[in-house]
Structure 1
Amino acid sequence: WKQSHDKDNTNRIKNSTENTSTICVSVCVFLQTILVGDSGVGKTSLLVQFDQGKFIPGSFSATVGIGFTNKVVTLDEVKVKLQIWDTAGQERFRSVTHAYYRDAHALLLLYDITNKSSFDNIRAWLTEIHEYTQSDVVIMLLGNKADMSSERAIRREEGERLAREYSVPFMETSAMTGVNVELAFTAVARELQQRSVQQPSEPRFQIHEYIDAQKEKSSCCRVF
């Protein structure tokens, strides 16, 4: 199974690279983003919501190994291609997903606000991330399933406190309603895009301030 799985991944990576060379004729920045977190926190649903703008209830079994989606977003008239990798949360697939950490530009680390153990495991995930990723990788902590507030096990303040401890941006998201989903991806994309063009004399892009400003501007939906 492992040899077959590795061969499939190799072919997919080759194909994705070929697709990148075609698309990047008109795309200025290429970024690799990885979704990580315990199994069942909603990584695949979050990705589908961002990519397709919809929620498909009860349609996903646990991700096996890793899969990816390409999506082009426009930031200030600059086209940015995100290659988003959806990883399996189960321990037995960690050796597979570790190989993808090294090339990641950004990681979205998810927990389920209704599942205390998924939050308790965040520290272990962050330790693992720091061990295998580049030192300048962008990390964002997301408390997913914010629509399920009646079943909440983790208060938003707890997520905010943990994010401050590790100096990473934080927000609560809902793959079901779409709340903050696009903002999560575009915020890390903008951070990375700004890094690629920023001059040493220019002030550094502040992702926390950007997120707060976007939340204030949003009047079409409730922000958790």
Structure 2
Amino acid sequence: MAGSFSTGGNNICDYSFKILLIGDSGVGKSSLLLSLISNSVRDLSPTIGVDFKIKMLTVGGKRLKLTIWDTAGQERFGTLTSSYYRGAHGIILVYDVTRRETFENLSDIWAKEVELYTNQKCIKILVGNKVDRDSERVVSREEGMALAQERKCSFLECSARNRENVLQCFKELTLKILEVPSLLENGSVVVRQQILKEKEVYRAPHGGGGSCCS
């Protein structure tokens, strides 16, 4: 589905989509989200709890509300549950191109968890982050493309630090969601109400402090 892609400040929307950022701690999930939301990036400490941000967009003439969820350090403790994945329309699987273990864990751990807990129609995109540190790269672009092909999802390399391909990542994901009728149907008022309930659950203390700047 082609069309314009722009940000907007109006809270009235045609669809509301739940987007998840998944991957090892330290791969830059929080930085990618901050880069999208605030147009700036700073070094972030790992956060505790589950964090989320709202981004209003206009894509193909449709006004969209993206609720973007960040695991915010929970992945280090193995505490992600099926409730975190429930109702997701899109998932961004993130690895660090300078740390091979984060790439391997996407295939060995995170992709399998996504398959277990999400709707098969859920749109996924594989993202290699930190390409601004190309001299430290240990995972080639070709390897990333091969894994994406294996997992039947899109692929992009990004840099949250210099914002390279950050907006493009969310654009591609959202356009693909708009092509799936069942996901559009799920982006209804009922789902918006469910997301609000989940927010209240995750706002409760998770032990170890609140979330920060993800």
Could you state the TM-score of these two structures normalised by the residue count of structure 2?
0.76
User: 1:189 offset after TM fit, Å?
Assistant: 1.0
CA distance in structure 2 between the partners assigned to 1:129 and 1:96 by the alignment = 11
Contact in 1 for aligned 2:96/2:102 (Cα 8 Å): yes
Contact in 2 for aligned 1:65/1:93 (Cα 8 Å): no
User: 1:77 offset after TM fit, Å?
Assistant: 2.1
CA RMSD in angstroms comes to 1.9
From 31, 37, 46, the equivalent of 1:45 is 31
CA distance in structure 2 between the partners assigned to 1:126 and 1:116 by the alignment = 16
Query: Which residue matches 2:54?
Result: 70
From 3, 21, 41, the equivalent of 1:35 is 21
Contact in 2 for aligned 1:87/1:97 (Cα 8 Å): no
Aligned pairs (5 A) from 1:78-117: 78-91=62-75, 93-117=77-101
Q: Select the structure with the greater relative contact order (CA < 8 A; seq sep ≥ 6).
A: 2
Query: Which residue matches 2:152?
Result: 167
User: 1:88 offset after TM fit, Å?
Assistant: 3.3
User: 1:186 offset after TM fit, Å?
Assistant: 1.2
Contact in 2 for aligned 1:35/1:110 (Cα 8 Å): yes
Contact in 2 for aligned 1:65/1:97 (Cα 8 Å): no
Query: Which residue matches 2:164?
Result: 179
CA distance in structure 2 between the partners assigned to 1:150 and 1:92 by the alignment = 27
Contact in 2 for aligned 1:142/1:170 (Cα 8 Å): yes
CA distance in structure 2 between the partners assigned to 1:174 and 1:97 by the alignment = 28
Deviates more, 1:90-99 or 1:43-52: 90-99
* 1:110-136 deviation per Cα after TM superposition (whole angstroms, max 9, x unaligned): 000000110111112100110111111
Q: Which runs of 5+ in 2 are unaligned?
A: 1-9, 184-214
Determine helix, strand or coil for the equivalent of 1:79: strand
From 15, 30, 45, the equivalent of 1:61 is 45
Q: Percent identity?
A: 39
User: 1:166 offset after TM fit, Å?
Assistant: 1.1
Q: Which runs of 5+ in 1 are unaligned?
A: 1-21, 199-224
Aligned residue type for 1:105: H
The structure where helix makes up a greater share of residues is 1
CA distance in structure 1 between the partners assigned to 2:38 and 2:76 by the alignment = 29
CA distance in structure 1 between the partners assigned to 2:40 and 2:78 by the alignment = 28
User: 1:65 offset after TM fit, Å?
Assistant: 2.3
Could you state the TM-score of these two structures normalised by the residue count of structure 1?
0.73
User: 1:67 offset after TM fit, Å?
Assistant: 0.4
From 103, 107, 115, the equivalent of 1:119 is 103
Q: Does 1:149 align with 2:134?
A: yes
Contact in 1 for aligned 2:30/2:72 (Cα 8 Å): no
How many residues are matched?
173
Contact in 1 for aligned 2:121/2:180 (Cα 8 Å): no
Aligned residue type for 2:161: M
**Rg comparison, structure with higher value:** 1
